């Protein structure tokens, strides 16, 4: 089968392209926004990429066009498909029919932590010899690719990041409704995707629809702390439930005891495993509990799952160190929702404090965190969460933001931070401001769900060419 994929460079569609290639199909695709790591992955697979959506691409005559949800009416190629009565489908629909059918699908859903938890779960199953298939909205460092077919046999596990965003312009259901999981992780639930969901209740309805597709023998792994998820299950739950993040006196539930980087896994009050790893923050501790609970449903005991996580390397663009120049470290992170931004900054802060405690006798000055973010998501562009930005960034020593043409003032939103917040109208000006403010020993944390015009490399270059980094407190 020849697939031509519209919007192929998105994380989901790019992963689908990789799976189709592994299954023996011919794959071509087109897109406008192309940036790593997905562009690199597609090129390594030998997939032909066509820039733009020119209607002339109908001359390729594929067996089916797979249309990503980035495509809107007025798109020249899609309009040509309609006029020519060409065969087309959505990515989730094609995936469900040609990859997921007959597999034991483990779907990871929630506002935050989907990518990391999906990667953790795939890593656990791989360590357990299950050779899982997976589709992750990022690149797990343990695998080096975002998607793999795995053992394509009936009943074999397939782990998928289950997004609540809509399927396509012709199918407004959430993507995850297509997946029919045997195991579903519900990590957490907040308002997001304000461009398609008017409020949190609308998202809860989509999660309720997911729950309604699951068999009585299926398992729902749910965060016991999340009130929105409790409301979802109260609307109707037809499957077995395993809770995590429970109070320790609750029998059967999974909880953690200890620091997020070294903790015991408890079932009730009984220790069933221990995790010691390099991942940061309580959010990753909770992700680990969810992955351990889900893995148990396919036969991996919690002790083995916890042991496997000790070797988990993480995911690209999750507090990924991009380099160091002039004594300043630059990190890249995918965080773009206020809650995720706060958790990421807090995780980095916790790591730096641990490093200080590990060297109690050394001369030490608390390192600064310079947070740099781009309000790029559709929700952010609408300004729906602008009031939460000071809260999201308050743990940073300085906050730098890009002002785009989205109709609200980032500077006004960050006014509660006072002189700690600085806003620039373009990336070169933002780079110059960060480079001028950074001191030796600082940590620059860049947060965006896009390429951010290559700001990471620009920052490293600017820091390198400015000469020795000034020490804090030195005259400038």
* DSSP characters over 193-259: -TTT-SSHHHHHHHHHHHHHTS-TT-EEEEETT-HHHHHHHHT---SEEEEES--TTSTT-EEEEEE
Beta-carbon count within 10 A of 247 CB: 11
Q: Is the pLDDT of residue 316 over 90?
A: no
Q: Please state the pTM of the whole predicted model.
A: 0.84
Cα 252 to Cα 270: distance, rounded to the nearest angstrom: 10
Cα 339 to Cα 337: distance, rounded to the nearest angstrom: 6
Identify the band that residue 280 occupies on the pLDDT scale cut at 50, 70 and 90.
confident
- The pLDDT of residue 83 is 97
- The pLDDT of residue 358 is 64
Q: What average pLDDT does this structure show over 147-156?
A: 92
Tell me how long the chain is.
476
Q: Are 375 and 448 in contact (CB under 8 A)?
A: no
Cα 341 to Cα 333: distance, rounded to the nearest angstrom: 9
Q: What superfamily in CATH does domain 102-309 come from? A: Mur-like, catalytic domain (3.40.1190.10)
Q: Quick one: tokens of 397?
A: 């020593």
Give tens-digit pLDDT for 252-270: 899 999 999 999 999 998 9
Cα 309 to Cα 289: distance, rounded to the nearest angstrom: 10
Q: List the one residue out of 80, 100, 101 whose CA is nearest residue 4.
A: 80
Cα 199 to Cα 410: distance, rounded to the nearest angstrom: 23
Q: Is the pLDDT of residue 474 over 50?
A: no
Three-state SS for 368? coil
Q: What percent of the chain has pLDDT over 70?
A: 95
Q: Is the pLDDT of residue 113 over 60?
A: yes
- The pLDDT of residue 191 is 81
**For the ranges 10-19, 151-160, 329-338, 362-371, which has the lowest average pLDDT?**
362-371
Give tens-digit pLDDT for 204-217: 999 999 999 999 99
Q: Report CA 307 to chain centroid distance, whole Å.
A: 23
DSSP string across 413-438: HTGGGGGGEEEESSHHHHHHHHHHH-
Which of 381-391 are b and which e, b meaning 16 or more Cβ less than 10 Å from the residue's Cβ?
bebbbbeebbe
Q: Are 316 and 146 in contact (CB under 8 A)?
A: no
Identify the band that residue 11 occupies on the pLDDT scale cut at 50, 70 and 90.
confident
Name the DSSP class of 23.
T
Task: Write out the H or E segment, with its range, that includes residue 462.
Answer: helix 455-465
Three-state SS for 56? helix
Q: Please tell me the CATH code under which domain 320-465 is placed.
A: 3.90.190.20
Give tens-digit pLDDT for 156-177: 999 999 999 999 999 999 999 9
- The pLDDT of residue 249 is 66
Spans of all domains in the chain: 2-90, 102-309, 320-465
Q: Is the pLDDT of residue 364 over 60?
A: no
For domain 2-90, the question of CATH label 3.40.50.720 is answered with: yes
Q: How many CA atoms lie within 13 A of 364 on its CB side?
A: 13
Q: Is the pLDDT of residue 437 over 70?
A: yes
Radius of gyration of the chain (CA): 23
- The pLDDT of residue 210 is 96
Give tens-digit pLDDT for 43-53: 888 898 998 99
Q: Is the pLDDT of residue 466 over 90?
A: no
Q: Are 123 and 142 in contact (CB under 8 A)?
A: yes
Give tens-digit pLDDT for 376-434: 887 787 888 889 899 999 999 999 999 988 889 999 999 999 999 999 999 999 999 99
- The pLDDT of residue 252 is 86
């Amino acid at each position: 089968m020849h697939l031509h994929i519209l919007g192929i460079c998105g994380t989901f569609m790019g992963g689908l392209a990789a799976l189709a290639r592994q299954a023996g199909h011919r794959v071509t695709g087109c897109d406008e926004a192309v940036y790593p790591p997905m562009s690199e992955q597609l090129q390594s697979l030998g997939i032909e990429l066509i820039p733009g959506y020119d209607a002339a691409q109908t001359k390729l005559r594929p067996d089916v066009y797979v249309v990503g949800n980035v495509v809107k009416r007025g798109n020249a190629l899609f309009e040509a498909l309609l006029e020519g009565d060409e065969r087309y489908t959505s990515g989730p629909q094609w995936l469900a029919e040609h990859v997921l059918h007959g597999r034991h699908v483990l779907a990871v859903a929630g506002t935050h932590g989907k990518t990391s938890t999906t990667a953790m779960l795939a890593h656990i199953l791989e360590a357990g010899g299950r050779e899982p298939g997976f589709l992750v909205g990022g690149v797990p460092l343990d695998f080096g690719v975002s998607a793999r077919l795995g053992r394509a046999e009936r009943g074999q596990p397939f782990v998928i990041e289950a997004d609540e965003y809509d399927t396509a312009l012709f199918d407004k259901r959430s993507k995850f409704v297509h997946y029919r999981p045997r195991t579903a992780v519900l990590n957490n639930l907040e308002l997001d995707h304000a461009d398609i969901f008017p409020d949190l209740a609308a998202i809860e309805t989509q999660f309720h629809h997911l729950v309604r597709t699951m068999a009585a023998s299926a398992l729902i792994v749910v965060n016991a702390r999340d009130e929105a998820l409790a409301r979802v299950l109260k609307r109707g739950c037809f499957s077995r439930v395993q809770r995590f993040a429970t109070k320790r006196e609750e029998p059967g539930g999974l909880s953690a005891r200890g620091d997020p980087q070294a903790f015991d896994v408890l079932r009730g009050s009984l220790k069933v495993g221990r995790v010691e790893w390099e991942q940061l923050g309580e959010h990753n501790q909770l992700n680990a509990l969810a992955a351990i609970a889900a893995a148990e449903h396919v036969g991996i005991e919690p002790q083995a799952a916890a042991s496997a996580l000790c070797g988990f390397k993480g995911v690209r663009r999750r507090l990924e160190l991009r380099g160091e120049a002039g004594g300043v470290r630059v990190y890249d992170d995918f965080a773009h929702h206020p809650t995720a931004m706060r958790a990421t900054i807090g995780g980095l802060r916790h790591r730096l404090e641990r490093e200080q405690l590990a060297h109690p006798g050394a001369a030490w000055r608390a390192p600064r965190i310079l947070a740099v973010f781009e309000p790029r998501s559709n929700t952010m562009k609408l300004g729906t969460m602008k009031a939460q930005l000071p809260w999201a960034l308050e743990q940073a020593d300085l906050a730098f933001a890009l002002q785009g043409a989205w109709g609200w003032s980032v500077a006004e939103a960050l006014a509660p931070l006072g002189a700690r917040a600085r806003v620039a109208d373009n990336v070169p000006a933002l780079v110059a401001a960060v480079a001028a403010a950074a001191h030796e020993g600082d940590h620059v944390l860049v947060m965006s769900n896009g390429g951010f015009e290559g700001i990471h490399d620009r920052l490293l270059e600017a820091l390198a060419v400015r000469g020795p980094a000034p020490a804090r407190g030195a005259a400038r």
